[in-house]
Amino acid sequence: MKFWSLLRANLGRHKRRTFLTIASVALALFLFASLRSVITTIGMAAQFGSARRLVTTNATGFVLPLPVSYANRLETVPGVEKVTWANWFGGRYGDGKRFFATFAVDAKSYLDIYPEMSVPADQKEAFLQDKGGALIGVRLVNLFGWKVGQNVTLQGTIFPGDWTFTIRGVYTPTDPAINDDALMFHYDYLDERAGRPGNAGWYILEIDKPDNAAQIAKTIDDQFRSSSAPTKTGTEQAFNASFATMWGNIGLLMNTIGLAVVFAILLVTANAMMMSARERTRELAVLKTIGYSDRLLFGLVLAEAGLITITGAVLGLGAAKLLYRATNFNAAGFLPGFDVSWGTMATGGVIALVLMLASGIVPAMQAARLPVVTALRSVE
Amino acid sequence: MALVEIRDVYKTFTRGAERIDVFTGLTLDVEQGSFTALMGPSGSGKSTLLNLIAGLDRPTSGTVRVNGAEVSAMTPAQLATWRSEHVGFVFQSFNLLPVLTAFQNVELPLLLTRLSKRERDERIRIALGVVGLDDRMDHYPRQLSGGQEQRVAIARAIVADPTLVLLDEPTGQLDAKSSQEVLTLLARLNDEFGKTILIVTHDPAASGRARRQLHLEKGTFVEQGSLVP
Ligand SMILES: Nc1ncnc2c1ncn2[C@@H]1O[C@H](COP(=O)(O)OP(=O)(O)OP(=O)(O)O)[C@@H](O)[C@H]1O
Ligand SMILES: [Mg+2]
């Protein structure tokens, strides 16, 4: 590209202005990528979940419990192969600034149904053997420096008092949509200390064929319809999606903010491009005198806008991709698997191209149309 | 056949309701290899004439031919290519690009050619050598004196080996000494390299260097002196 030195010299003319313009494009695309990744991560969580798993909750609302005795009856439903259950514990650790999820689970069946939680065999065994033991996500190890064998004490918020567990194992999710910062302990331990109320927060079922999901769900809900605690059964995906829909409006808000930011930056970039083209009216006329064609000058001015927006995009999108990866960001556990997807990167790239066209086309056309004689006279 | 043939050219500017008839039937020949000075009072149409020859502007009617090509009938794209090959233009106010070094300024016309980087470098060195600035290649315009700037501009005008070098008051902003240097350079370009030179000037010293003087007044030549046939 033999015009490279000309382009570079022009960008270097007002170094601060060029730098600020590139920085604003970079910041805009960084924000765009971040906001968009919140939406895509939620969307991914909603898609997470095996089609072979159903979730049964209390029909009145998933915060209400179901009798733990349902487990046996659920196992007998045709098509159901495995059953487990979990309770939301809601513990607080230390000053509580760093929140993480805590569940009481029926350990053996739970780990059985979630092969995506990988635990070393010896640790798994140790956890299953110890009623006061806990299994923690790998992120908590990094976060608090916890070690296997160590005791940790949580304050119960739903179940008051100090709860001390011995860490027996560390799990690593093989699916990024699974939280890697949860703490799990034995349901038995919770039930005993709470005075054996026999409550299960929700049931997770593994079924034989995904195609039978609707039929099996209907059988289950029909079976419990007239009991004291009617159930609502759906796929794990639907269960996760119901969380995601709570985020739906936030998604809209984020899209709007993202677009507003990009639009604001468009104005900044367009203004910078116009300014630099206007200042150079005379130089553009001189180039025409030398024999630079209208089309070439159009291309050169547009290329300048392109260099600015594309450099900004590479910096902003690259920073977003690398930063969230390097810091293993998951919004304190709310957005497990947070990642700037390649789709978002591509959309960001398209935005950069649109920015280039939108900010560069007017000055480029002005440059192409510039009448040499009047341009040379006007400044002299 | 003359290198530049201007035939019955009319040029009228309209500024609002006002009509300015700069040329009403101008005819002129400029021979290949000649060194011509164009003089005349301000507003007589000297710059307009250079612009017409360079294809930067079009006559209202009449024809401008250079080297057999009808400049006045070309499209803008054709004109751009034609200018890059045939015309070197030098302005009163130098008009170097301030962000480029002397070397890069001289390179500008060559970027439009198919020459390789090596060939370009060689030509630029030669051109800067001819104007005596091969030791200032990496200087920016602001690091050069006015006379040096104008010599860089002349190097830029001749580097692509144009048919015709047009200069619009090239010494207008220079002191006497720098003017002399520029004029000596132009005479050399004409003598040694056979360049056809057309220079607009108010400066008697400058016109004295030319082989032929043209006096333009109100759009017509009042007397045409030719010292050398
Ligand atoms: N683009 C234009 N629009 C309107 N009028 C113009 C334009 N260009 C030139 N003129 C007019 O045409 C006439 C000739 O102008 P020109 O610039 O050719 O004069 P000049 O001989 O070069 O003068 P100077 O010695 O001051 O440079 C002037 O009256 C000028 O005002
Ligand atoms: Mg003039």
What integer pLDDT is reported at residue A46 of this predicted model?
67
As beta bridge partners, residue B37 has B199, B213
Instruction: Indicate the DSSP class of residue A254.
Output: H
The last residue of a domain, from among A228, A258, A289: A228
Interface residue A271 vs chain B (CB under 8 A): no
A21 and A73 in one domain?
Answer: no
Q: For residue B99, which phi and psi values (nearest 5 degrees)?
A: -85, -5
Q: What is the pLDDT of residues B125-177, one digit of tens each?
A: 999 999 999 999 999 999 999 999 999 999 999 999 999 999 999 999 899 99
Find tokens 């060559």 and name the residue.
B110
Pocket lining: A328 vs ligand 1, CB cutoff 6 Å? no
Q: In angstroms, rounded to a whole number, what is the distance separating the alpha carbons of residues A21 and A62?
A: 49
Q: Is A304 inside any structural domain?
A: yes
SS3 label, residue A147: coil
Q: Is A54 inside any structural domain?
A: no
Instruction: Note down pLDDT in tens along chain A; length 380 residues.
Output: 789 989 999 999 999 999 999 999 999 999 999 988 888 887 776 666 777 899 999 998 877 899 999 999 999 999 999 999 999 998 889 888 888 889 999 999 999 999 999 999 999 999 999 999 999 999 999 889 999 999 999 998 888 899 999 999 999 999 877 888 899 999 999 999 988 899 999 999 999 988 888 899 999 999 999 998 999 998 887 777 666 666 566 777 888 888 888 888 888 888 888 888 888 899 999 999 999 999 999 999 999 999 999 999 999 999 999 999 888 787 766 777 788 999 999 999 999 999 999 999 999 999 999 999 888 886 44
Contact criterion met (CB below 8 Å) for A189 and A195: no
Pick from A143, A145, A133, A232: nearest CA to A185: A133
Residue B223 has pLDDT above 70, yes or no: no
A265 and A122 in one domain?
Answer: no
Contact criterion met (CB below 8 Å) for A65 and A146: no
Q: In angstroms, rounded to a whole number, what is the distance separating the alpha carbons of residues A306 and A297?
A: 14
- Which residue segment(s) compose the domain that A139 sits in? 65-228
A219 and A78 in one domain?
Answer: yes
How far is B93 from chain A, CA to nearest CA, in Å?
Answer: 8
Which chain B residue lies closest to A2 (C-alpha atoms)? B111
The last residue of a domain, from among A228, A257, A285: A228
A148 and A98 in one domain?
Answer: yes
Ligand 2 is a single-atom ion; what residues have CB below 5 A from it? B 47
A260 and A342 in one domain?
Answer: yes
Q: Is A53 inside any structural domain?
A: no
Q: Is A207 inside any structural domain?
A: yes
Which ligand is located closest to the Cα atom of residue B45?
1
A95 and A220 in one domain?
Answer: yes
Interfacial A residues in 285-324 facing B (CB < 8 Å)? 286-296
Q: Is A57 inside any structural domain?
A: no
Q: Which domains does chain B have, with CATH numbers?
A: 2-226 (3.40.50.300)
Distance B216 CA to ligand 2 centre (A): 12
A221 and A175 in one domain?
Answer: yes
Q: Is A264 inside any structural domain?
A: yes
What integer pLDDT is reported at residue A378 of this predicted model?
65
A162 and A81 in one domain?
Answer: yes
Q: In angstroms, rounded to a whole number, what is the distance separating the alpha carbons of residues B205 and A239?
A: 94
The torsion defined by the Cα of B65, B70, B71 and B73, in degrees rounded to 10, comes to: 140
User: ipTM of the assembly?
Assistant: 0.93
What integer pLDDT is reported at residue A245 of this predicted model?
62
The last residue of a domain, from among A228, A261, A279: A228
Q: Is A167 inside any structural domain?
A: yes
User: Out of B57, B92, B104, whose CB is closest to A373?
Assistant: B57
Q: For residue B182, which phi and psi values (nearest 5 degrees)?
A: -65, -40
What integer pLDDT is reported at residue A374 of this predicted model?
86
A351 and A309 in one domain?
Answer: yes
The count of structural domains within chain A is: 2
Q: Is A290 inside any structural domain?
A: yes
A268 and A373 in one domain?
Answer: yes
Find tokens 């990167």 and name the residue.
A345
Q: In angstroms, rounded to a whole number, what is the distance separating the alpha carbons of residues A133 and A188?
A: 11
Q: In angstroms, rounded to a whole number, what is the distance separating the alpha carbons of residues A7 and B128?
A: 23
Which tokens hold the place of A9?
């010299």
What integer pLDDT is reported at residue A266 of this predicted model?
83
A222 and A260 in one domain?
Answer: no
Q: What is the pLDDT of residues B46-101, one digit of tens each?
A: 999 999 999 999 999 999 999 999 999 999 999 999 999 999 999 999 999 999 99
Q: For residue A291, which phi and psi values (nearest 5 degrees)?
A: 120, 10
End-to-end CA distance of chain A: 33
A93 and A14 in one domain?
Answer: no
